[in-house]
Structure 1
């Protein structure tokens, strides 16, 4: 699990998809015995093929290939990307040029920026998984059983990828150029990939990577591959306010355990949401763009305000900045007296709202209401208040400490390193603080908004489909933010979806897996019971999702443009702002889990309250939300790209 530990108002970050401080990625590829001379060609297949055994891998792996390939950056021969590819069936990846032209192949990317995609391979959707005891075991839901799949460490310097000193990517545009320089060489090694449909998938900071990669693709006269679809999971596509702050109340509604099922605290956060302008209204289709959010700072952000530029982060990885921000808000260990003082303030000001002035933004937190929610949870809401870890990427996980998730021992083992032709000039680390050479203090200077209209038009014209998926238990990059981004988008001449997403979908065992909605070449999928790492939490459902909605053309949730009917129907109880989370909060040490469930009377009282709670009147968005029978505002998303119009402030990719 990704763990971000919040204790007494302070977050100490251990983020898998963000960045840990650690060794930089400078290094050079290692030339192993048998390396061919000359340009890349099918002759390199024998060199890259993995034939040596791995430590603790006791089962038979399908054929796979790995190593470093040049990105063709002039003057920087050591700038390479590391790949590890597994074929679907014997010979499917090594087919000759022009063969298997209809067979899909996929790429998986992790985020960061600076996180290795081998995290995804070894803990999410690859054929080899590493357990908490560092043992290796087979993943029965590996994505390569559905298509030839390639996990790629990128940008240069990430994971086992290498980079010359000072030759990091300057920005995301250069990242895209490097990526296609790599792909041009990759298809020389595996020539059938040039004409087969490519599906680029990823999560988190890939909300930036994948749009930029797609932009680069559309700008090439003769791209080396044939892009068919992109899929972004729990992606920081919107601005920080959109993906982190706007969903706060929805997060509470999903997991009211965060506030101890307290109606007064809920009303307090509803008021803060309204005062900060986060209570955006949805219509179907959307009637006008959402307003620009005017962010209000509080006292708590003074130590890191320099990291912001205007109303957004100065290109820095949002995930890292958030962790830094929390750590900087107070000393790493609050004195007991200070903690008790804070606790009394919370009791006075948050639990007894009757004595608190109405209509004012909290001066301490300002509009950082997600941070305020987490601070409240660890001070007042059990089991987090008992000193348990808070994983804001997976709300119900309060394990303390987390079960180890460490691939470094396996990957840095000499046997593994030699088998996958990894560089010997650097050790593998799951994440680095990526050093963009074009940004201030190494931050990512890229602004993805300017090209989205052209990107959308090109996607429609060139038949590239889009999938956005989210885990319902992710509180930091929550699904509500993705819905805002898409519903704020015009495609096919219509802004946003024309109907509320409310169609259920099921995994292969027939179990409810979440909500799906499809319109005009876009697909939105919400996973029940998954956090930030969807396929790690729900491998069976993620497998079905990949087969049916990414690689396949399952029409469940599709709006018929003629009749207006929806394949699979609509379920009124799924048409709210949120999908209720589970009742259990898991805690314990490592893999030893216990569960906490609030008393049934508490839960029943909350259910009665939330069904009749009156929302604070607002005009924050254009139009008004329609309620379902439970009194909850409806939620929506968006699809297809014909004319992709956006409100810039709301759509900062991260």
Structure 2
């Protein structure tokens, strides 16, 4: 979910962690594992010597995943002093000892990955607003061992001190988390690994993947101590990749989508002129200077002149001819969809106790978002990182529900066409072809080499909620290192 800095290098960001120095004697630092009882739960405490991180988690809470024999773990990773990052891990329902491992990150910035777990692709979901969850037959753990992470600190169930101010400064914390996770669960080392994300994940996904690859190279050189992350797949649905392209897409999509025109032809012309005269120069100043102040100013300028007026309803004096939900233009703004049943469920003391949560659940708190806003992170493009990841040979899919406005498919396609890799020319020239699931058309797509784009029909911002069969097929193919193909 998009509620909608580059200046710190990866090396500097890592300075907040204390990695173990080479040991010259026989007494290397050792990991420690203990067990405590807390709120009636048996809690495993694992201290990772290499990073100083600590994992505390509950095993098989009985919440959400109730498939017989499928294990789950939920709890916290401490990535620094008073920095407690929430995770929830589910084994694959089939062949967990050989299935790949994938992470899921929701966007925001500052929105919980429990959105994805309960509303989109997790082992359970709330059907028609039910008060209790039921098993989701289209869960991504049908294919892979799934790890849902609330980051940065302060998001969802995570709590404590939040030092993350940008996408770039978020990446080392996530890498550290995975290092400690591998140490506690060594059976998942050397598994094929995927990153799936959405919305602000158009920033997170490319940067996290690029950072993991750079750490792998440093590990191979011996300059960093750690476990290689065998990244083979990156999937981003309805992502926010490049503001210059996607602010323009707000205008074009508002006028020319397949559901309903939100603005008139005359308004389209007016907004386009404003975009060119105000938004683009502000973004160019951000790009050329890279300064937090200029990027924050660009964010404010483009929101105030483009995104804000377009997304306001007619009754509020905005430019929109219709009242609409920015996450699904088919719905009114006062009736956002899908329903928020899951968040009420996660506030129940019996549930939070069972899963080992120590904080009150907050879906999209303001504090993490404001830290990103202060560095103008929203106004920074991550197409360069996305291009680098594709160039490395990792299987990448960029997909989008075509009823979403906030990160609409016009902008997603424009970003995909702007990627640079060996197949760029062929990709740009390729038409969109029907994408089918068991003979039923679910969208249109194109693929060249290891890069695919997919428009999903009849889906809002959270694609797996609206089109679960399409989403699971996309996930299965991408995690299988296959280009998208119809079935």
Instruction: Quickly name the TM-score band, shorter chain normalised.
Output: 0.7 to 0.9
Change (3 A) 1:133 1:465: closer
Deviation at 1:517, TM superposition (A): 0.7
| Structure 1 Cα separation of the partners of residues 426 and 380 of structure 2 | 20
Q: Decide whether the 8 Å contact of 2:400 with 2:409 is kept in 1.
A: yes
| Structure 1 Cα separation of the partners of residues 71 and 105 of structure 2 | 21
| Structure 2 Cα separation of the partners of residues 555 and 460 of structure 1 | 18
Does residue 371 of structure 1 match 2:298? no
1:387-402 map, 5 Å? 390-398=324-332, 400-402=334-336
Deviation at 1:412, TM superposition (A): 2.6
Does residue 432 of structure 1 match 2:358? no
Deviation at 1:144, TM superposition (A): 0.6
Q: Decide whether the 8 Å contact of 2:452 with 2:483 is kept in 1.
A: no
Deviation at 1:550, TM superposition (A): 4.4
Aligned-partner SS, 1:491: coil
Correspondent of 2:445 among 513, 516, 519: 516
Partner of 2:120: 124
Does residue 160 of structure 1 match 2:169? no
1:450-529 map, 5 Å? 453=384, 456-457=387-388, 459-461=390-392, 463-492=393-422, 494=424, 497-508=427-438, 510-529=439-458
TM-score when normalising by structure 1:
0.58
Partner of 2:188: 193
Deviation at 1:502, TM superposition (A): 1.7
Partner of 1:62: 70
Deviation at 1:146, TM superposition (A): 1.3
Partner of 1:546: 475
Higher helix share: 2
Deviation at 1:242, TM superposition (A): 2.5
Partner of 1:577: none
| Structure 1 Cα separation of the partners of residues 185 and 112 of structure 2 | 23
Partner of 2:248: 245
Correspondent of 1:417 among 341, 352, 361: 352
Correspondent of 2:60 among 51, 55, 71: 51
Deviation at 1:313, TM superposition (A): 4.2
**CA deviation map 1:353-391 (0-9, x unaligned):** xxxxxxxxxxxxxx6288347655988999x86xxx520
Higher strand share: 2
Q: Decide whether the 8 Å contact of 1:247 with 1:478 is kept in 2.
A: yes
Deviation at 1:492, TM superposition (A): 1.3
Aligned-partner SS, 2:158: coil
Q: How many residues align?
A: 428
Does residue 230 of structure 1 match 2:163? no
TM-score when normalising by structure 2:
0.76
Q: Decide whether the 8 Å contact of 1:244 with 1:476 is kept in 2.
A: no
Larger Rg: 1
C-alpha RMSD of matched pairs (Å): 3.8
| Structure 2 Cα separation of the partners of residues 64 and 145 of structure 1 | 14
Partner of 1:616: none
| Structure 2 Cα separation of the partners of residues 59 and 144 of structure 1 | 11
| Structure 2 Cα separation of the partners of residues 251 and 437 of structure 1 | 27
Does residue 177 of structure 1 match 2:172? yes
Partner of 1:612: none
Deviation at 1:192, TM superposition (A): 2.5
Deviation at 1:140, TM superposition (A): 1.6
Deviation at 1:247, TM superposition (A): 4.2
Aligned-partner SS, 1:178: helix
Q: Decide whether the 8 Å contact of 1:203 with 1:233 is kept in 2.
A: yes
1:533-572 map, 5 Å? 533-554=462-483, 556=485
Q: Decide whether the 8 Å contact of 2:194 with 2:232 is kept in 1.
A: yes
Where structure 2 has 5 or more consecutive residues not aligned to the other structure, the ranges are: 5-35, 50-54, 220-226, 284-291
Partner of 1:204: 199
Deviation at 1:215, TM superposition (A): 2.5
| Structure 1 Cα separation of the partners of residues 37 and 167 of structure 2 | 29
Where structure 1 has 5 or more consecutive residues not aligned to the other structure, the ranges are: 1-15, 20-29, 260-264, 279-291, 297-307, 326-366, 558-567, 569-654
Q: Decide whether the 8 Å contact of 1:218 with 1:455 is kept in 2.
A: no
Partner of 1:283: none
